[in-house]
Structure 1
């Protein structure tokens, strides 16, 4: 028995010592299409916003019977209509729909090995190659048709009612409903040349097509959700470099310089109301483009000014942002946590509905559907589990480049908030100069004091009779 135990232990040790990271598990800027990370799937209140409610795309929810009742029929219709358009617009098909279908199906089949590499192994292992080829062929054609014909003003273009259009549009953005851009490039009428236009048209819900824009140039991303995420920050923040295999891989971050212990800055303010009491006013950024890091802070003698981008809360918001969070936290995705950093920063300003009201009054938040309590709950519920929160709360780190902007602003706010002199000046201004009446009362009191001093001086120094 002892000898058997020794042999088993040595076998385990040998296996442990020979463990290596596989190339297909490397962290890069082109993560595989995968499930929501397990950490978030275990939180029911979070994961319920990551599950499609009406239609599925790709392998993860393909066998969900609830989605097949209506979603599958819609996808089949859109795929058929797309193939018909393809046969008429692409020369070699000469209007032959059957020939176009055979060609597109063959394209997917010819590239199936490469396409399978774009999915996590556990989401496709239960499908045969034939099942995957048909699924990607039908789903890809239907999605391209949807992106081209989506129009919030004319939902009948997709044989939908307005409420159905909104539900399908929202489902297409979910992390577990993504199709690789490579598939859409293979199936597109122009071999991918029109994808930038289709992505913009989808994002704007048909506005691009209605406005007559035909040429739009944007960086092509991994899938629709990745494109939506990247549209909210400047592309130079994430610099992608080719790896030896021809893919795209993020360069490793530089080592952080040593920092003295005195550089630690702890956040002592609780919410936006605390900042307001110290003289800090909030204003909305007037930029035409919404970017995650369009925040600035300016400190002055009698107060400060915090500028934030406009944030709109709608029915789609809880779904969209939770899926962005899940995407940024995928274990094989090297990124800068733009969404997590932004939401963590907003969470540092919001404790309850009163803080939301302050930001709404300043024009920073537009609450279209929910109460202020629901908006505050949204930030508080998801804000506690961010990796970015620990970085932003303590001191800057080079591990997350984008977080430097938020850390810089937080540091500036904290330094202003901790200054007793500035707080005293702000309170004085608020007490005596916040309204015309308080100003008049202050001037009257000051005038009375000056007159009393002059009268006393004159009494003491007046010449004797």
Structure 2
């Protein structure tokens, strides 16, 4: 027994000595299950499990998605019409890459399937996905007698973390099609359609000082883009755009550190209503990129610019899966989506907060009541760990404005007296009445005697002499 113990101790010591200095990560994050800390039994089916179509190995054979298997065959047949190859030849291309494609998943996902079964699964799911997207963009899904509710559920299912097909599969199939360019364009159009929010109408505004921008985004040129891991990864990239340094921002730190916003470790403001009471108004950003959040202060008023967002039944699953993707241990990222949801959750507590965001054209409520929208963001914003660096300066400037008492008093005064045309007219009327009274008093005291007054005075004197 002593030898066994000694051997066991040596094995343990050996494991420590041979442990890597840092975790080893692949070039692309593997498709995996939703992290354990997010797998709440009450929400897992609603947010993370497919309701119409199962793609990839995790939910393959799910009874709820059995109807979609027939549609997969029909969509694949249509996809093959636009290729110059037979089903056997195209399937063989996937089969030849199966070891590489298998490595796109965690071992947990593929251990139940042999390579032949997995190759057929990815071939069928890849062809069906591409044809579904193109038919959706071209509005031809009704030709396959696919009902509207199934289309809506399938749209959500394509962006679930556990329901992803490697983008390498889609790329391989697109390159084998006669409509490669059209298919890639359809994917871009489809992803943009799932980002939502109408575009802002451009209008000329007077020049103002550059706001403190958290992250200004712009789309990166296609030839510089890295191939996405899957459709959910592409959706995240399009939502965030690429980071752009403002033209007036130097790469070096500012020479005058006093110009930086003060660091407030505690956030005292709670929601949009409190900000509005302090004279901070919400406006719509110039773009719909999630990072396009900025704050600018003018005199006693502040303006917080937010990107527009549409909220519907797909918003919850979409953001929860993006958050789950950012939490995957092998995905090195800046938690930008998580930070955006945390920021928005800090602004929304009640239905009235949602109402103010709607009034500012920042939020489009397609879900139902404003109360339901508030509940949704409070739910998906629970227990998140954001990147505190992303909105640090914006939050600090808001806090500095919020805690400046004279700005708050002036804003409250303007809110009380100028919030409607009637209160404004009443205020102007009071000022006019006071002004006229003052003028009348001044003339009564300081006005010089008129010629009539002189004549009357002389007549009175003569009458007395007589």
- Give the TM-score, by structure 2 length: 0.78
Coordinate RMSD, CA, aligned: 3.3
Distance (Å, rounded) in 2 between the aligned partners of 1:65 and 1:225:
24
Aligned partner (choices 384, 396, 402) of residue 417 of structure 1: 402
In structure 2, the residue matched to 1:247 is none
By how many angstroms is 1:79 displaced?
1.6
Report SS of the residue matched to 1:304.
strand
Distance (Å, rounded) in 1 between the aligned partners of 2:403 and 2:182:
53
In structure 1, the residue matched to 2:254 is none
In structure 2, the residue matched to 1:226 is 233
In structure 2, the residue matched to 1:125 is 111
Provide Cα deviations, 1:355-384, integer angstroms capped at 9, x if missing partner.
Answer: 111212222111113221111111111213
Which structure 2 residue ranges, 5 or more long, are not aligned? 195-220, 246-256, 449-466
Single out whichever of 291-300 and 425-434 deviates more from structure 2: 425-434
Report SS of the residue matched to 2:232.
helix
In structure 1, the residue matched to 2:315 is 317
Distance (Å, rounded) in 2 between the aligned partners of 1:171 and 1:273:
35
Aligned partner (choices 290, 293, 299) of residue 292 of structure 1: 290
Shift in alpha-carbon separation, 1:430–1:156, aligned structure 2, 3 A: closer
Does 1:380 find its partner at 2:378? Answer: yes
Asked whether the equivalents of residues 146 and 158 of structure 1 are also in contact (C-alpha less than 8 Å), the reply is: no
Does 1:408 find its partner at 2:393? Answer: yes
Provide Cα deviations, 1:385-426, integer angstroms capped at 9, x if missing partner.
Answer: 2221xx44xxx3xxxxxx1xx222211111110101111111
Aligned partner (choices 116, 126, 151) of residue 140 of structure 1: 126
Aligned partner (choices 300, 305, 323) of residue 302 of structure 1: 300
In structure 2, the residue matched to 1:337 is 335
Does 1:102 find its partner at 2:88? Answer: yes
Asked whether the equivalents of residues 197 and 217 of structure 1 are also in contact (C-alpha less than 8 Å), the reply is: no
Shift in alpha-carbon separation, 1:46–1:349, aligned structure 2, 3 A: farther
Asked whether the equivalents of residues 79 and 145 of structure 1 are also in contact (C-alpha less than 8 Å), the reply is: yes
Asked whether the equivalents of residues 311 and 366 of structure 2 are also in contact (C-alpha less than 8 Å), the reply is: yes
Distance (Å, rounded) in 1 between the aligned partners of 2:51 and 2:328:
22
Looking at CA atoms only, which structure, 1 or 2, has the larger radius of gyration?
A: 2
In structure 1, the residue matched to 2:460 is none
Matches within 5 A, 1:332-371: 332-371=330-369
Provide Cα deviations, 1:234-270, integer angstroms capped at 9, x if missing partner.
Answer: 23469xxxxxxxxxxxxxxxxxxx9x9x734421011
Single out whichever of 14-23 and 272-281 deviates more from structure 2: 14-23
Aligned residues: 407
By how many angstroms is 1:347 displaced?
0.7
Matches within 5 A, 1:1-400: 5-20=5-20, 25-26=24-25, 30-42=28-40, 44-46=42-44, 48-67=46-65, 69-86=66-83, 90=84, 93=85, 100-151=86-137, 153-190=139-176, 193-203=181-191, 219=225, 220-236=227-243, 263-285=263-285, 287=286, 289-388=287-386, 391-392=387-388, 396=389
By how many angstroms is 1:451 displaced?
7.5
Distance (Å, rounded) in 2 between the aligned partners of 1:446 and 1:85:
77
Distance (Å, rounded) in 2 between the aligned partners of 1:194 and 1:19:
48
- Give the TM-score, by structure 1 length: 0.78
By how many angstroms is 1:139 displaced?
1.4
